[in-house]
Amino acid sequence: MFEKIVNGMLHGNFKTKFFLWAIFLFSMGALALLLLAFILGLPMIGAGGIGCGLFALILSQSISLNDLSKEKKAKKGKTRKHKNKKAGKKAASGASLEESGEEMQEAGKEAEKEITEEVSRKKREREKAQFLFGMNEKKMKKLFKEHGVNQIHVKVMIDSFPKGNIEQAPAFMWKTDRMLHFLVLTGTAQEFEVPLADIKGILLVKNVPADPETDYVPFKLSNFITRMFQPYLPEYFESTNEGQLEVKKNTFRIEPGIYLTNTSVGNLRRVLLPGVAFLVDDKVNSSTQFNEYFKEIYRDSILCKNSVITLDEYKEQIGKTLDALLDAPISGKEFVNTIYALNKYRLISQEFVAEYTQKFREKNM
């Protein structure tokens, strides 16, 4: 279809070239005016861009009808054979123009939608930055009082919450008997709550595409709020995809589709959700090759790598899990295989292997 449009623009008759080039130029003019309106912040220029876009859409819809009407009047005195031949060519040309017009109409609508969404997103970002930069300790205390923020609360960074139209925003979290409360600082202070019964686990979401240059822009500057929440910005890492270097981050999801940065989850688990399971959906956890003791330490290693728990906390969890393995009703072979598999995959050190192998021997003497 694109080839037909280009062919019509370059090799069509005068009418075909006129209509296709007019549609193309008005569409490009609409995009240029809308972008200029967004950059300069002038709505009148944006209105002009929308007008150009609408004219291009109307023109694209009327091409085949106008062309057909003009062709009929121009060829009225010719012979039937010649008429039929011309009519066939005209019908084909009209159909081609109609298809071309529909394609350009759809492309115009899609481009207009993308521009509108981008303008809306940029507007929300500006409003959020202005709100955050205007926040101070006095205003914060007032917000806490208005929303009844509990003294036992934690700071988190919401990477995204599509359902709530929230993206890269700081928040305070606290819980009551049955609810987990969020006070999110976007363009305003926005509060919502989630039933604790709905939160069955904290799910790791791996390898989320990221751009450190454009992510969390307001937090690249220093003020009252940004200093408070900078420790909860995501940690980035690099990976390759078909030879191309990509920047990624890991996030953690809780219901109903709230994605938190990796650095936010530690406080959340310790203070508000200590009994909620950590979930990883990958080959290791779904494998029958490893028992639950191996998988438990594997999950703890992921938490450590994502700064959810410290290295000392990880070592403490290893000791607890290996103590449970030591008391488990399993064979000596399974115990040894588990210990050596943990060491093979670098989840525990050789010191743990020696210590717990010795404990197993003493227990079974």
Q: What is the pLDDT of residues 95-137, one digit of tens each?
A: 666 666 666 667 676 666 666 766 666 666 677 777 777 778 8
Question: Predicted confidence band at 306 (pLDDT cuts at 50, 70, 90)?
Answer: very high
Question: Predicted confidence band at 303 (pLDDT cuts at 50, 70, 90)?
Answer: very high
Most confidently modeled range among 24-28, 284-288, 314-318 = 314-318
Whether the pTM exceeds 0.75: the reply is no
Per-residue pLDDT, averaged over 2-25, amounts to 65
| pLDDT, tens digit (0-9, with 9 covering 90-100), for 205-232 | 999 999 998 899 888 888 888 888 999 9
Domain ranges of the chain: 2-131, 134-278, 280-365
User: What is the model's pLDDT at position 40?
Assistant: 67
3-state secondary structure the chain: CHHHHHHHHHHCCHHHHHHHHHHHHHHHHHHHHHHHHHHHCCHHHHHHHHHHHHHHHHHHHHHHHHHHHHHHHHCCCCCHHHHHHHHHHHHHHHHHHHHHHHHHHHHHHHHHHHHHHHHHHHHHHHHHHHHHHCCCHHHHHHHHHHHCCCCCCEEEEEEEEHHHCEEEEEEEEEECCCEEEEEEECCCEEEEEEEHHHCCEEEEEEEEECCCCCCCHHHHCCCHHHHHHHHHCCCEEEEEECCEEEEEEEEEEECCCEEEEHHHHHHHHHHHCCCCEEECCCHHHHCCCCCHHHHHHHHHHHHHHCCCCCHHHHHHHHHHHHHHHHHCCCCHHHHHHHHHHHHHCCCCCHHHHHHHHHHHHHHCC
User: What is the model's pLDDT at position 121?
Assistant: 61
User: What is the model's pLDDT at position 247?
Assistant: 94
User: What is the model's pLDDT at position 78?
Assistant: 46
Asked if pLDDT for residue 76 goes beyond 80, the answer is no
User: What is the model's pLDDT at position 339?
Assistant: 94
